[in-house]
Structure 1
Amino acid sequence: MNATATAITPPPVLAAYGYCETVTGQQARNFAYGIRLLPPEKRQAMSALYAFSRRIDDIGDGPLEPAAKEARLAGARALLARVRSGAVEDDDTDPVAVALADAARRFPIPLGGLDEVIDGVLMDVRGQTYATWDDLEVYCRCVAGAIGRLSLGIFGVADVPGRSAREAARAADYADTLGLALQLTNILRDLREDAEEGRVYLPADDLAAFGCAGGFSAPEPPPDADFTGLVRFEVRRAQALFGEGFRLLPLLDRRSGACVAAMAGIYRRLLDRIARDPGQVLRGRVSLPGREKAFVAVRGLSGLDARHITRRPARYPARHPVRRNL
């Protein structure tokens, strides 16, 4: 925060933000590169949002039995209700709640989006599977699209002369769609890891169309499966979502746009890497080296990546090809 903001922010709140920033720096392996580009007040608010979201994710991914996870998620929802009602005091013992409550007072964050995140994690806990892309899209909007809309509450839409109210109103749709693109990229990257934990996210009709209904727990796909075709089909879907979601960037101020360009740019490069060699997602976790992530962040701050990625056309694959003689 600037000197004025620091002077009026109670020490317990500053300490709570510090805790959330530590969590973000240690655990947000990709998002941290973008969040660092924000001015201090927005960076702290985004860290609070990340820390709460991370807590929800950790419950879903943790070792507890499903019933215990549901109880923990109910507790998180009750805490969120306290934040929403203004019942969290600055001296509360939960630093994430303190930071999120302060951020919600400073920015118009649509906190209902965090209820959607909890709903999405409940789908994981209950072992939900997805027959079609429409089904999977609901899940993605909960766990990622909602994060895009929540973040937009912190970023805000830049007040630019000549911009129509209708165009500005589309910002939430673009943020939501960009979240879908990031989540689908995550699903492709973690295909084998999820399969080993008994989770399958890709739509069942896509898996069947490419002969991949048997799963992905082995380092090589079945010999009669068109695994490359499946991955590249999903890559095209994600590319189309990125193309639509990147329309958010011109609606943001420079620093917020740089943050989004960096975070989304890292995932877009991951997607490009997967597209070049689809089989690598079965051999191990696909990632970018730190120096490349830093390079993307620098380009985002300079505006170079933003100009590049917003020029890419989006071509959405309406349906998968029908395979024969499987």
Structure 2
Amino acid sequence: MTGRELDAAGVTDPVLRAAYTRCRLLNARHGRTYFLATRLLPADRRPAVHALYGFARWADDIVDDTADTADTADTADTADTADTADAAPAERAAALARLERLLRHALAGGRPAAEPVVLALADTAARYAIEPAHFTDFMASMRADLTVTDYATYADLRAYMHGSAAVIGLQMLPVLGTVTSRARAAPHAAALGVAFQLTNFLRDVGEDLDRGRVYLPADLLAAHGVQRDLLLWSRRTGRDDPRITAALRAAEDLTRGVYREAEPGLAMLDPVARPCVRTAFLLYRNILDTIAGSGYAVLHRRAVVPRRRRAAVAADGLVRVLAARLGARRAPTPTTVPYGAALDAKESG
């Protein structure tokens, strides 16, 4: 299947094909929810999505204390992630700086001698004219993860998430394509990236504590009488506390509000790409349902959407894909802005 995707995308260089294959492997092994949704994209667009995911995953593993991060599969092969799991902070900082140098060189047109994920990312950025500033902002947030362990306010957290999550949605827009200008769709795409990351933060409260981090904003926690020490106590003892439950419920409400910000953007996407993003939207939002259904026990165990539910959402997405592709064949004239490239001059400035 990988070869067919690369053929459809016009990737013929053997080195590039190997680089994209590595990124796809990272996505398949470490991003179950995201990878499932990508299967609904047209084959020619999947390699680009895998490249964007693979690079983000690689950078994330550099700054994390453990290799089992984000939406990790139960059988994750950590040999395919950045080898910094047990590195000291200075070593992780050096590895991240090296990755950033490779990225700048590659985005400027150079061909890096190492790190296939950088090679695939640079090729994707060139093919889809993705703004280099999105990658610069992403790396700034990754650097913050080396030293910042909590956020005083939601505004502080949103500033961090601009680089760690919002720009991921913005990177995706040119790949997905839109039926409106990219500028009009961009705020919703950015909000979707933030919604996904807030969902991960809520699901991974316990695991992030183990890494010394608290991503839920301190002002939200304090409003319910919660501080880091109470979270650590709950994580250590396995006991619940009504104050923690109330704070986590408030975080869920906050996250659902961001999903509402993002939802209008689904209709702005190219119809053949829309089922993929809608499926990811539903699957990630279902994680919130699972968290609530567990009594907000995220400090003690990971919330996982049941396989049957994931399959049902994916099956619905497949039906929508088939309908969209049939509609595209019947359409007398193109109605989309291919890959988001044709921008409205007034809206894009």
Q: Which category describes the TM-score, using the shorter chain as reference length?
A: 0.7 to 0.9
Contact 1:220 1:282 in 2 (8 A): no
Q: Which residue of 2 aligns with 1:108?
A: 129
Structure 1 residues 250 and 68: alpha-carbon distance in aligned structure 2, compared to 1, 3 A threshold? same
Rounded to whole Å, the distance in 2 between the matches of 1:169 and 1:154 is 14
Where 1:170 maps in the other structure, the secondary structure is: helix
Aligned length: 293
Deviations 1:27-48 (A, max 9, x none): 1121101111112221001111
- The correspondence for 2:198, drawn from 163, 177, 184, is 184
Amino acid at match of 1:297: A
- The correspondence for 1:148, drawn from 169, 172, 176, is 169
Is the aligned partner of 1:31 residue 2:34? yes
> What is the RMSD of the two structures over their aligned residues, measured on CA atoms?
2.2
Where 2:212 maps in the other structure, the secondary structure is: coil
Where 2:173 maps in the other structure, the secondary structure is: helix
Contact 1:16 1:99 in 2 (8 A): yes
Q: Which residue of 2 aligns with 1:220?
A: 239
Following TM superposition, by how much is the alpha carbon of 1:54 offset from its aligned partner in structure 2, in angstroms?
Answer: 0.8
Length-normalised TM-score, structure 2: 0.78
Runs of 4+ in structure 1 over 6 Å off: none
Unaligned runs of 5+ in 1: 305-326
Q: Which residue of 2 aligns with 1:170?
A: 184
Unaligned runs of 5+ in 2: 65-84, 322-349
Following TM superposition, by how much is the alpha carbon of 1:290 offset from its aligned partner in structure 2, in angstroms?
Answer: 3.2
Following TM superposition, by how much is the alpha carbon of 1:57 offset from its aligned partner in structure 2, in angstroms?
Answer: 0.4
- The correspondence for 1:78, drawn from 101, 104, 126, is 101
Matches within 5 A, 1:1-16: 9-16=12-19
Deviations 1:212-245 (A, max 9, x none): 11342322244xx522221121111111100111
Structure 1 residues 183 and 278: alpha-carbon distance in aligned structure 2, compared to 1, 3 A threshold? farther
Length-normalised TM-score, structure 1: 0.83
Matches within 5 A, 1:295-310: 295-303=312-320
Structure 1 residues 34 and 111: alpha-carbon distance in aligned structure 2, compared to 1, 3 A threshold? farther
Matches within 5 A, 1:110-125: 110-125=131-146
Q: Which residue of 1 aligns with 2:257?
A: 240
Where 2:32 maps in the other structure, the secondary structure is: coil
- The correspondence for 2:287, drawn from 242, 251, 270, is 270
Rounded to whole Å, the distance in 1 between the matches of 2:7 and 2:158 is 43
Rounded to whole Å, the distance in 2 between the matches of 1:253 and 1:132 is 36
Following TM superposition, by how much is the alpha carbon of 1:204 offset from its aligned partner in structure 2, in angstroms?
Answer: 1.2
Rounded to whole Å, the distance in 1 between the matches of 2:10 and 2:130 is 23
Task: Name the % identity.
Answer: 36
Rounded to whole Å, the distance in 2 between the matches of 1:7 and 1:144 is 28
Rounded to whole Å, the distance in 2 between the matches of 1:177 and 1:97 is 26
Q: Which residue of 2 aligns with 1:309?
A: none
